[in-house]
A and B are shown apart, each in its own frame.
Chain A
């Protein structure tokens, strides 16, 4: 190990990144410039520094004793910091004596059209990195234990798969679900595209399997309410909502529901079928136990008299459960776009305008119309149906989403085909802008929909609808953009292919877990290409639509990926964490406790008796809040010491 007390001898390595950097910057000039900087003893340029040859360049210089500090001017550290750290370490130098200067994302990519300015910015960036490198100190990587237990939040098809995979590998899994049953949206669907296999037939066995799994503990009708701790050691509080029915005692016989006088809309059927105040969401629900919906219950207690095992308990209270987990997997899924506020489509005003999810329930053989879709206004089978695509998606209108929801083209075609199978004489129109049939077998599905099923595809987004007062038919105005003609189309029923959006409580989860959301509300992955199921919080993974709209195969693939990510962490039993924590110098500390309140990760504690403030290295995320707040300058943050940062600032501002 090279002694850091030695005078710094810095090697600067400039990466062309093919044309990504060298196409904009003059890298020879930059190399010459770097050579003139203080403490720089070596300055090189190479096509791809991340390649084996590139790394060798650095390693040889370290091994020869030529350099004892490394600066690589290349892409973002998010991309290759680990690559170069590893190279540094393997060559025998402490990996924290490496510094990456980002001249790609921060310069050549964003200043492509201002080459002159870009060159001087690159010089600044390199100069700052060199200044910091001169002050770098070696650090030791820390290790913490990882508990072999996983928390899965959300029990749709994603959560079920994660739970199953981890449970099968012997880990202790807790599966938390907000609603009374597991299964999620997939349980609501009738068939799945493009293979047309029965959704319920696929998911119900999985639900049962998870329900009976010895390693999986289902906490349905429950929400995560508090999360402390860090990778390997999350301390989680889960609040189970009161069912008002003893879940152990309930046999699921349904006698209570038969006598309950209150009727309301069933969420599972998108309000298209009734349920009682004491209910089972659907016959195959897991766990198969009843719940009282207190928002609608009138406390007549008829159910109490009826229930043989005497399971009804009107005094039921929320229960808090606390448990430690090594990893957390977020699989909270989505909420379907609610088109009520978009007045031009008349949803909520005209009975014969329904959503895609409602259509799905109507198509389901155990749905409100036992698989024979009807128009809500008169209960008759519609002869003509128009599907509107991109409802709530790809739009800048207020309340709508900019992104493509990725499943609506396919589900509309699927529903259209299903209806055509039952009513070959029906006229079906799909009003679309682009058909996005990109999955395996999807394009073929689309072609068959047009050719074999005779579904009419009209390229144009519906502009507005109104109702024919005589028969409740819906009259659509749109442009057939390929014909360049405005059209008016009268149909019996309209199905709005509503998009997917982030769950309403995604923000709550995001705060609890300290996992960021992208602008569209979905959870943000650590890297869109290379770490699509990790989050930036170590030990927390995300899978399925919670991360962004996707279809069932992609969701399951991600779930399996997340399970594997979590499993490999737990299997190792311990994990390295970056030594970027803050360190407190108790001799300088005046115990003002400013930092204790400010720390967003509750990493700082105060021992009154000993009058000692301590920072938990594992909890500390190195955000620097305390460092900045401490009036006594008693806190320093590893790798971001005041001296290191000031060196960068000093060299950045020439006049200082």
Chain B
């Protein structure tokens, strides 16, 4: 349990697409870690794709805004703020919430559509990334107090991802090209965050580039991986399922496309904190159980890393 008592302890957990449907270990680990921190994440029933800010917003802004606003109204009905695990979903829901709240004309337009499905956007909830909750509400100190298995000696390449930080005018951290809040959370686990070249560069997945122009997308990833390698890191830590996919599956694709081989375990922040807090690595999806189906992630096994850092495994 965290010490400060005045923080919000109940959220609607917005799942998105990639976390529940491709990388469910992100969902599982987040729910468990937040439970340990005394924060309840409730189902956001019937939520859809956010829809993704780079793709769907690129096709038709009104559709993007309407579907995003519909998702927000679910939380409004539940009277709970929204916790988001994905940078892309965070971008969409935060921006849509902001536009709907600050532009009456857009709100009227979109509400007219929502009315057809019996909904109205009221502007009563906040959209928060779990990193925001972890850093600003819980705090790295309280997290490190709960660590029973410090991940000492682990060199982590922290990847913030773009939409966590930008556009900064709507983000809780403001304008800062060299932030450290995510590193502070990672270091609360006992791991060390290693600086690497172009740390804040995009993973290459966003904006529909991964879907449409794969080689360019993978070349972003290749460059980041190569910079991480130069810095001598052991693992990649991220806070976005789409970046996560891009780095995990991406290492396989980079090898196929460019013949460069990397084998960095890619760890989502909840998995990292869960491990340090003593949650079973099986429950966190860090070590595969027997019934894990073939052809599913992680594509770069995380097991060897866990075995190295956790005593007695």
Task: Determine whether A344 belongs to the interface, using a CB cutoff of 8 Å to chain B.
Answer: yes
| A377 at the B interface (CB under 8 A) | no
Interface residues of B in 156-211 (CB under 8 A from A): 175-178, 197-198
**Closest chain A residue, CB of each to CB of B230:** A469
Check A343–B197 contact: CB distance below 8 A. no
Write the chain B residue with the least CB distance to A344. B177
Q: Which residues of A contact B175 (CB under 8 A)?
A: 398
> Chain A residues with Cβ under 8 A from B177's Cβ?
343-344
A466 near B: Cβ within 8 Å? yes
Q: How far is the CA of A398 from the CA of B169 in the complex (A)?
A: 11
Residues 42-63 (chain A) with a chain B CB within 8 angstroms: none
Q: How far, in whole Å, are A466 and B196 apart by their CA atoms in the complex? A: 11
Q: Contacts of A466 on B, CB cut-off 8 Å?
A: 197-198
Give chain B nearest CB distance to A486 CB in angstroms: 14
Complex Cα distance, B176 from A398, in Å, reads: 11
Smallest Cβ distance from A129 to chain B, in angstroms?
A: 40
A561 to B214: give the CA distance in the assembly, Å. 66
Residues of A near B197 (CB, < 8 A) are: 466
- The interface residues of chain B lying within 8 Å CB-to-CB of A344 are 177
- Kindly list chain A residues whose C-beta atoms are within 8 Å of the C-beta of B198: 466
Report the interface size class on chain A.
Answer: under 10
- What residues of B have a CB within 8 angstroms of the CB of A398 in the complex? 175
Which residues of B, 280-307, contact A by the 8 Å Cβ criterion? none
**Residue ID in chain A nearest B174 by CB atoms:** A398
B126-161 CB contacts (< 8 Å) to partner A: none
Chain B proximity mask over A397-410: 1 for CB below 8 Å, otherwise 0: 01000000000000
Chain A, 324-370, CB within 8 A of any chain B CB:
343-344
CA distance A516 to B74 in the complex (A): 53
Give CA–CA (A344, B176) in the complex, Å. Answer: 10
Tell me, in angstroms, the Cα distance from A343 to B197 when the chains sit together: 15
Please encode chain A, from 416 to 459, with 1 for each CB lying within 8 Å of some chain B CB and 0 for all others. 00000000000000000000000000000000000000000000
The interface residues of chain B lying within 8 Å CB-to-CB of A343 are 176-178
CA distance A571 to B175 in the complex (A): 55
Q: How far is the CA of A344 from the CA of B178 in the complex (A)?
A: 9
Which A residues lie within 8 Å of B178 (CB)?
343
CA distance A466 to B198 in the complex (A): 9
CB nearest to B168 among chain A residues: A398
Residues in A whose Cβ lies below 8 Å from that of B176 = 343
Give B23 Cβ to nearest chain A Cβ, in Å: 32
Cα(A343)–Cα(B200), bound, Å: 13
Closest B residue, CB atoms, query A469: B197
> Once bound together, how far apart are the Cα atoms of A466 and B177, in whole Å?
13
A344 to B201, CA, bound (A): 13
Q: B277 to nearest A CB, angstroms?
A: 33
B270: shortest Cβ distance to chain A, in Å? Answer: 29
Q: Which of A198-236 contact B (CB under 8 A)?
A: none
B28 CB to nearest A CB, Å: 37
Within 8 A of A (CB), among B40-84: none
**Nearest chain A CB to B66 CB, angstrom units:** 32
Complexed CA–CA distance, A343 and B198 (Å): 13
Bound complex: CA A398 to CA B198 (Å): 23
Q: How far is the CB of B56 from chain A (nearest CB, A)?
A: 29
Rounded to whole Å, the gap between the CB of B301 and the closest CB of chain A is 31
Q: Give A478 Cβ to nearest chain B Cβ, in Å.
A: 16
What is the bound-complex CA distance between A398 and B177, given in angstroms? 13
Chain B residue at smallest Cβ distance from A349 = B178
Residue-wise, chain A 93-132 has the 8 Å CB interface mask toward B (1 for contact) of: 0000000000000000000000000000000000000000
CB distance from B244 to the nearest CB of A (A): 26
How many Å lie between the Cα of A26 and that of B32 in the bound state?
77
State how many angstroms separate the Cβ of B180 from the closest Cβ of chain A: 12
The CA of A466 and the CA of B199, in the complex, are separated in Å by 11
Q: A109 to B178: give the CA distance in the assembly, Å.
A: 47
Distance between Cα atoms of A398 and B175 in the complex (Å) = 9
| Residue of A343, A344, A466 ringed by the most chain B CB atoms within 10 A | A343
Q: How far is the CA of A398 from the CA of B168 in the complex (A)?
A: 12
What's the least CB distance linking A422 to chain B, in Å?
34
Bound: A466/B178 CA distance, A: 12
Contact mask for chain A residues 166-192; partner B; CB cutoff 8 A; 1 contact, 0 none: 000000000000000000000000000
- State how many angstroms separate the Cβ of B78 from the closest Cβ of chain A: 37
Q: Which residue of B lies closest to A466 (CB)?
A: B197
Interface residues of A in 466-480 (CB under 8 A from B): 466
In the complex formed, the residue of A with least CB distance to B197 is A466
B183 smallest CB distance to A (angstroms): 15
Looking across the interface, which residue of chain A has its beta carbon closest to that of B177?
A: A343
Residue of A nearest to B231 (CB): A469
CA distance A162 to B72 in the complex (A): 66
CA distance A466 to B197 in the complex (A): 8
Instruction: Please report the C-alpha to C-alpha distance between residue A28 and residue B177 in the assembled complex, in whole angstroms.
Output: 61
Cα of A118 to Cα of B35 in the assembled complex, Å: 67
A361 to B175, CA, bound (A): 33
Q: Tell me the bound Cα distance from A344 to B175 in angstroms.
A: 12
In chain A, residues 129-175, which have Cβ atoms closer than 8 Å to a Cβ of chain B? none
The CA of A344 and the CA of B198, in the complex, are separated in Å by 11
Shortest Cβ distance from residue B226 to the other chain A in the assembled complex, whole angstroms: 15
Query: In the bound complex, how far is the Cα of B177 from the Cα of A343, in angstroms?
Result: 6
A428 to B178, CA, bound (A): 29
Within 8 A of B (CB), among A503-529: none
CA distance A369 to B175 in the complex (A): 37
Q: Nearest Cβ in chain A — how far from B136, in angstroms? A: 21
Smallest CB–CB gap between A350 and chain B, Å? 12
Question: How far is it, in angstroms, between the C-alpha of A163 and the C-alpha of B80 when the chains are bound?
Answer: 69
Interface string of A366-409 (1 = CB under 8 A from B): 00000000000000000000000000000000100000000000
Q: How far is the CA of A343 from the CA of B176 in the complex (A)?
A: 8
Bound-state Cα–Cα, A343 to B178, Å: 7
CB distance from B106 to the nearest CB of A (A): 24
Complex Cα–Cα for A651 and B198 (A): 67
Contact string against B for A residues 253-271, beta-carbon threshold 8 Å, 1 for contact and 0 otherwise: 0000000000000000000
* Cα-based distance from A542 to B198 in the complex (angstroms): 48
Complex CA–CA separation, A207 to B178 (angstroms): 45
A431→B228 CA distance, assembly (Å):
30
Q: How far is the CA of A398 from the CA of B263 in the complex (A)?
A: 41
Complex Cα distance A125/B260, Å? 77
CB distance from A391 to the nearest CB of B (A): 15
Minimum CB–CB distance from A464 to chain B (whole Å) comes to: 8
A125 to chain B, nearest CB (A): 34
A357 to B178, CA, bound (A): 26
Closest-CB distance, B233 to chain A (whole angstroms): 15
Q: How far is the CB of B101 from chain A (nearest CB, A)?
A: 23
In the assembled complex, the CB of A260 is this many whole angstroms from the nearest CB of chain B, namely 38
Q: How far is the CB of B165 from the nearest CB of chain A, in Å? A: 13
Nearest residue (CB) in A for B198 is: A466
Which B-chain residue is minimally distant from A342 (CB atoms)?
A: B177
Closest Cβ of chain B to A4, distance in Å, is 55
Minimum CB–CB distance from A474 to chain B (whole Å) comes to 14
Q: How far is the CA of A431 from the CA of B172 in the complex (A)?
A: 34
A603 to B177, CA, bound (A): 52
Tell me the nearest residue of chain A to B179, going by C-beta: A343
Q: Cα distance A374–B142 when bound, in Å?
A: 48
CB of B160, distance to nearest CB on chain A (Å) = 14
Cα distance A466–B201 when bound, in Å?
Answer: 13
Give the CA-CA distance A594 to B311 in the complex, in Å. 79
Give Cα distance in the complex from A624 to B268, angstroms. 66
Q: Whole-angstrom distance from the CB of A341 to the nearest CB of chain B?
A: 10
7 A-B contact pairs sorted by A residue (CB < 8 Å): A343-B176, A343-B177, A343-B178, A344-B177, A398-B175, A466-B197, A466-B198
List of 7 A-B pairs having minimum Cβ-Cβ separation, nearest first: A343-B177, A343-B178, A344-B177, A398-B175, A466-B197, A343-B176, A466-B198
